[in-house]
Amino acid sequence: MRPLARYPQSVVLLLIAALSGCVDDGRTPVLIYSPHGREQLNLLEDAFERHHPDIDVRWLDMGSQEVLDRLRFERSSPQADVWFGGPTTIFGRGVQDSLLAPYRPAWADKVGPWGIGPDDLYWPVYRTPAVIAYNTAALSPESVPQDWDDVLDPKWADQVLIRDPMASGTMRAIWGFIILKSIRETGDTAQAMQWLRRLDANTKTYTMNPAILYQKLARQEGVLSLWDLQDMLIGRSKGLPFGYVFPASGTVVIEDAIGLVRGARHPEAAKAFIDFVATDEALLLTAREVFRLPARSDLPADSIPEWIAEVEASMKPVPMDWDLLARDGPSWMSYWDEHVRGKGSR
């Protein structure tokens, strides 16, 4: 089954309702909400169905925040079976809203301790480091900002492209990293909001989705961005002029999770999919084909792609108070949206 298109919400709900019932070929459908993109979802769909020919994988691709919003909207009558992908902070908010059901995957003992939800409600599958991304046709490696504060230099005015943080779990995590740093250093968020105002002053646009971000970066409509490592590696593998720098002072590494939707219509098929995504086969497949960094650290050393070793040697993960971010992040984001976006200053 291929993706549901980005129709208006009322149409999407009708499509989901139609697709969630029994299928003509007798297979059990499993409906997945995910921000992981068509390429990865198609890849896992095909691999999973080879092992489970009796299950028909169907998926809806949208941003992490959009997944949460849709699950909340459908809480009284769930349509999805699996929530696949997004920072644990987003999943934590789903836990608060009782959107997830407990399930302990077959690979549960091979991950953690970071990224595991309370009461077996969600589990980490991948790690997603944040990077400073740039257009290699426009900038040399030596000229690229080497740390977060360097992106605030006035010479980058109108040269920074940012994925809209209100719809993106990745950007919310990066914003959270900046805010938590401010709280550690000063005791409140004022320093972070001033930092974000300075970044806003350099930001040319906030793009509605990642595809637009990549297009604009490739066309040099902006030459810098703050985004995730995986998408930069995918773009580069397709010939796009994308490079990246791990910030010298350290970066946020997002634990990317999966969970069983509470009230799932096809729970056994959903559990089978959850069990599959973090097997050796599935993790190595996504590492090789779509540059996903596994949350598991016990994969066969002779099978792991070289890029993983390079990343592990280069990035400096920083500690994050994910519980605080999950609790207070929504109010911080609302403040940013109302008082910082479009109001940049030096």
The pLDDT mean for the chain works out to: 92
- Look at residue 7 in the predicted model and tell me its pLDDT: 44
- Look at residue 24 in the predicted model and tell me its pLDDT: 62
The average pLDDT across 132-152 equals: 97
The model's pTM: 0.86
Those residues whose C-beta lies under 8 Å from the C-beta of residue 238, and which sit 6 or more positions away, are none
- Look at residue 10 in the predicted model and tell me its pLDDT: 47
The average pLDDT across 45-61 equals: 98
DSSP 58-96: EEEE--HHHHHHHHHHTTTS---SEEEEEEHHHHHHHHH
- Look at residue 345 in the predicted model and tell me its pLDDT: 72
Distances (CA, A) of 35 to 5, 55, 95, 100, 165: 13, 21, 18, 17, 14
The average pLDDT across 33-37 equals: 94
CA 255 to the chain's CA centroid: 9
The average pLDDT across 198-217 equals: 96
pLDDT higher than threshold 50 for residue 20: no
Confidence of residue 5 (pLDDT cuts 50, 70, 90): very low
- Look at residue 185 in the predicted model and tell me its pLDDT: 96
- Look at residue 215 in the predicted model and tell me its pLDDT: 97
Q: DSSP assignment, residue 254? A: E
- Look at residue 2 in the predicted model and tell me its pLDDT: 41
Which amino acid is residue 68, in one-letter code?
A: L
Distances (CA, A) of 122 to 108, 228, 274, 307: 10, 21, 10, 27
Using DSSP's 3-state secondary structure scheme, residue 186 falls into helix
- Look at residue 6 in the predicted model and tell me its pLDDT: 45
- Look at residue 4 in the predicted model and tell me its pLDDT: 47
pLDDT higher than threshold 60 for residue 9: no
Nearest to 80 by CA among 18, 16, 26, 123: 16
What region does 219 belong to: left with phi over 0, alpha with psi -120 to 50, or beta?
Answer: alpha
The average pLDDT across 59-63 equals: 94
- Look at residue 107 in the predicted model and tell me its pLDDT: 98
Please, what are the domains in the chain? 9-127+254-309 (3.40.190.10), 128-252+316-339 (3.40.190.10)
- Look at residue 191 in the predicted model and tell me its pLDDT: 97
Tell me which H or E stretch contains 172.
Answer: helix 169-186
The average pLDDT across 227-237 equals: 95
The average pLDDT across 276-291 equals: 97
CA 88 to the chain's CA centroid: 10
The average pLDDT across 185-204 equals: 97
Nearest to 264 by CA among 77, 62, 42, 27: 77
Tokens of 210: 């990642």
The average pLDDT across 36-63 equals: 96
The average pLDDT across 217-222 equals: 98
User: Residues 301-324: pLDDT tens digits?
Assistant: 899 999 999 999 999 999 999 989
Which amino acid is residue 290, in one-letter code?
A: V
pLDDT higher than threshold 80 for residue 71: yes
- Look at residue 18 in the predicted model and tell me its pLDDT: 47
- Look at residue 346 in the predicted model and tell me its pLDDT: 61
